[in-house]
Structure 1
Amino acid sequence: MSTLIYWFRNDLRLIDNPALLEACLRADRLLPVYIHLPQARETHTLGFPRGDRHRRVFLRESLNDLKAQLRTLGSDLLEYEGEPAEVLLELAQFTRASAVYCERIEAPEEIHQSQAIQERGILLKEFWQSSMLSLECLPFPVQDMPDMFTQFRKKVENAGLRFSAPVVAPSKIPSLPELVETSLIRTAEQANTSPYLFAGGERSALDHLKQYLARRLPDTYKETRNQLIGKDYSSKFSPWLALGCLSARTVATELTAYEQSHGANDGTYWLWFELLWRDYFRFLHFKYGKQLYQAQGLSDAPVMRSNLQSFESWQAGATGEPLVDAGMRELLKTGYLSNRMRQVVASYWIYDLQGDWRLGAAWFESQLLDYDVYSNQGNWLYLAGRGTDPRGGRRFNIAKQTQDHDPQGEYQRLWL
């Protein structure tokens, strides 16, 4: 009788989870687990937490939702805290599991976790499943992908690629190992009220996707995406995508069905275009790996020495630049910031305050509800001119951004 462990990482869903589906097909008994990592509770050298309250609450809601779904299928979700290699080794010995199945994450810390697990003699089966396009369908070896996004996009479009088909949810979850059934079952923790507009979890994600399409909001996405206030100016898929409560392939599939019913337009294309940007930042990790995490990035330009007083002012929204301060205060209060404002405040930190891009990236990691390691690293490198952007950085004119996106000062009044 085959016993397997399924380790949920950033894939807190049942629909379109190939690793989970494969584990369910191969196991007679399956132990689903989630491991709270010690580094999630670490603090930066400047004293702020690596992951602040916004994401912790959203994660708690998402885990509770996943646990409830697994229980309806006769299983459960067990939660532990510690280094994955140590936790999984103990569980594998206790349950006599023959392998651990999980999502593959191509970032340095997560790669190190996987290596440590394998070094302890555990058979680890990893599945790449967080992108809209599968690695296998790309029209080039991922290690040889074009550096420039435009060239990457053109090759994808010329090959006629849109997305890889999602897989169905498991219809049945194998029973828990017998010893676990009697000794390790735990009750779900209660979530606090979400600080965000939406609740965590796969079912909330699917409800949001359904209403977004039903209200025909994709049609206006391109025109509204740079607005700063409200719920509907952008899709707001990102928090659920970041934790894997929703897959990019599911979004792309539903978007295509929407186009077949209502017709394609600039808005529906632009939603797909943004999902492709998300894929691009993911695939760059296969090509450049740890280079993306070096101080200089892919550049040879010297790194700025940050003024800590300037950083504290930027963090707190107290720089004296009204649009920037409004954005930083929204981030502190809600854990969210529009894509436009993320670029504005990042540019101000890098170019106007002459700050180290890594400090800005670390602050976003701490505060963002929808923090995603690939997109966060990619966007900060891109703006700082240390990634693959041929223009060597993107400096925003703050006065022009204010005039273009908040001419009446509504956004500034809201947060200041």
Structure 2
Amino acid sequence: MSTSLFWFRSDLRLHDQAALRAACTGGTRHLLPVFCLPPLDAVTAWGFARMGPARQAWLAAALGELAQQLERLGCPLLLCAGPPSTTLPALASALGIDRIVCEQIAAPQEQAEVAALRAAGLDVHEVWQSSLLDPAALPWPAAGLPATFTPFRQALEHAAIVPPAPLAAPASLPPWPPGAVIPAHLRADLAALASVTGDPRSSLQDSAGHYTGGERAGLAHLARYLARELPQTYKQTRNGLSGADFSSKWSPWLATGALSARRILAELRQYEARHGASDGSYWLWFELLWRDYFRLLHLQYGSALYRARGLGQQPLGPHNGEGFARWCAGRTGEGLVDAAMSELAATGYLSNRLRQVVASYLIYEVGGDWRAGAAWFEAQLLDYDVYSNQGNWLYIAGRGTDPRGGRRFNVGKQTADHDGDGAYRQRWAAPQS
């Protein structure tokens, strides 16, 4: 083969890119890097846009940075319009390409995209690369994954499983196929994606201003976080509700793949070698393992995680559509929940603690379908990750692997514990109508 089409998905970076490396081997002389902009008019089964403005803007920044890096390597990024299932076969046909290489994503819609490409006669080579750990190097096959997180973590730590070292970014890439002519109707540009003005109340800001997507920004943020020795206090501050430093804020870059988990851990281990390990640095490893666990659950259960009953046996009750609409709008009458939903709408971000509180409130107090809540988070969160989003909603709803039957948060207690002075509620109070 002489030309490979590399399809960027949730891996918008050059460092630690096993899939991109695979695309450049096996006789590849020419490379066409492609990203398919999602249809921005797509709506969920619940009737709202699938990707909101904050997520669009973060994606645009990540793609802009990636395009600049690839341009410098002499292999520009091609932005295409339309769903991959139709766009990529049309592009491959126009250019005489039959090999596509991409990241493997073990979620139903993403798997359906690959199946459609293969049905169109294309040779699609998938490479698993989004997790910290290599699934093939674990003490169990995917079907034997421990049923809950704690024995999973304990077994890994007991076996001293070490993640693979992150790969360096390529110093060069093969050029585009000579004379490549891209049909105009397949091309897209970043102007199609929304731009947003940062809210000064947002937790996604630093001393220089608001954070932005992209690999360089993500690596710079990681370096600053470690240089300021913030892992030392992470365990004590991780349940905070707002501010730049209470949590790592790695998730936005992890979500688009602008940062790899393996690069993060490698630098965290270097930090521990210099400053010593602490409860906080351990808890960052702990959170990265949770991220991996949700990925491995997808390898084990696949589409079963997306059923109304999830992995459980109990049927789902009726969905309270009116209550769901009030929850989305931050008009439930519950101060902490409404403030949180206002922050989410304004910034595309919400602390982990509040994500759990508002999810619990929708499921147990409003009587909303957990899948509707998961879809709303997908639309709103700029750090949306298909694995973690689904895993966390299943966890709160009691429809995942946890035998304890869900997590119902007492909002009054959460308010007293985490916003006793009312500062967060005042910060995000909805305007009176």
TM-score by length of 1: 0.96
For 1:237 and 1:348, the matched residues in 2 are separated by 26
Name the stretch that deviates more: 79-88 or 345-354. 79-88
1:122, distance to aligned residue in structure 2 (A): 0.8
Q: Does 1:391 align with 2:392?
A: no
Structure 2 counterpart of 1:77, one-letter code? L
For 2:151 and 2:41, the matched residues in 1 are separated by 39
Deviations 1:231-259 (A, max 9, x none): 11000010110110111111111101110
1:352, distance to aligned residue in structure 2 (A): 1.2
1:46, distance to aligned residue in structure 2 (A): 4.0
For 1:90 and 1:313, the matched residues in 2 are separated by 43
1:189, distance to aligned residue in structure 2 (A): 3.5
Q: Does 1:37 align with 2:38?
A: yes
Q: Does 1:277 align with 2:278?
A: no
- CA gap 1:85/1:138 in 2 versus in 1, 3 angstroms: same
1:162, distance to aligned residue in structure 2 (A): 4.0
Structure 2 counterpart of 1:397, one-letter code? N
Local SS of the residue matching 1:124: strand
1:313, distance to aligned residue in structure 2 (A): 1.1
Name the stretch that deviates more: 182-191 or 258-267. 182-191
Summarize the alignment of residues 67-78 of structure 1 with structure 2, pairs less than 5 Å apart. 67-78=67-78
- CA gap 1:267/1:81 in 2 versus in 1, 3 angstroms: same
- CA gap 1:407/1:140 in 2 versus in 1, 3 angstroms: same
Structure 2 counterpart of 1:371, one-letter code? Y
1:84, distance to aligned residue in structure 2 (A): 1.5
- Matched positions, count: 415
Please tell me whether the aligned partners of residues 64 and 188 of structure 1 are also in contact (alpha carbons under 8 angstroms).
Answer: no
Please tell me whether the aligned partners of residues 205 and 240 of structure 1 are also in contact (alpha carbons under 8 angstroms).
Answer: yes
Deviations 1:101-143 (A, max 9, x none): 1000000011111111111111111000000001121111112
Structure 2 counterpart of 1:211, one-letter code? R
1:306, distance to aligned residue in structure 2 (A): 1.9
Q: Does 1:255 align with 2:268?
A: yes
Aligned twin of 1:354? 367
Summarize the alignment of residues 195-214 of structure 1 with structure 2, pairs less than 5 Å apart. 195=198, 197-214=210-227
Structure 1 counterpart of 2:149, one-letter code? F
Name the stretch that deviates more: 134-143 or 188-197. 188-197
For 1:186 and 1:266, the matched residues in 2 are separated by 49
Local SS of the residue matching 1:20: helix
Summarize the alignment of residues 7-406 of structure 1 with structure 2, pairs less than 5 Å apart. 7-26=7-26, 27-38=28-39, 41-180=41-180, 189=190, 192-193=195-196, 195=198, 197-406=210-419
For 2:247 and 2:82, the matched residues in 1 are separated by 37
Name the stretch that deviates more: 102-111 or 301-310. 301-310
For 2:341 and 2:8, the matched residues in 1 are separated by 32
Local SS of the residue matching 1:229: coil
Aligned twin of 2:201? none
For 2:69 and 2:168, the matched residues in 1 are separated by 15
- CA gap 1:355/1:18 in 2 versus in 1, 3 angstroms: same
- CA gap 1:215/1:15 in 2 versus in 1, 3 angstroms: same
Please tell me whether the aligned partners of residues 296 and 303 of structure 1 are also in contact (alpha carbons under 8 angstroms).
Answer: yes
Structure 1 unmatched runs, 5+ = none
Local SS of the residue matching 2:24: helix
Structure 1 counterpart of 2:22, one-letter code? E
Please tell me whether the aligned partners of residues 95 and 179 of structure 1 are also in contact (alpha carbons under 8 angstroms).
Answer: no
Please tell me whether the aligned partners of residues 326 and 411 of structure 1 are also in contact (alpha carbons under 8 angstroms).
Answer: yes
Structure 1 counterpart of 2:268, one-letter code? L
Please tell me whether the aligned partners of residues 309 and 316 of structure 2 are also in contact (alpha carbons under 8 angstroms).
Answer: yes
Deviations 1:308-357 (A, max 9, x none): 22111111111111111111111011110000000000111111112211
Local SS of the residue matching 2:180: helix
1:182, distance to aligned residue in structure 2 (A): 8.7
For 1:187 and 1:144, the matched residues in 2 are separated by 43
Structure 2 counterpart of 1:114, one-letter code? V
Please tell me whether the aligned partners of residues 24 and 172 of structure 1 are also in contact (alpha carbons under 8 angstroms).
Answer: no
Deviations 1:167-207 (A, max 9, x none): 11111110111122798797964573564531111111001
Please tell me whether the aligned partners of residues 2 and 98 of structure 1 are also in contact (alpha carbons under 8 angstroms).
Answer: no
Please tell me whether the aligned partners of residues 235 and 279 of structure 2 are also in contact (alpha carbons under 8 angstroms).
Answer: yes
Aligned twin of 2:422? 409
Structure 2 unmatched runs, 5+ = 199-203, 205-209
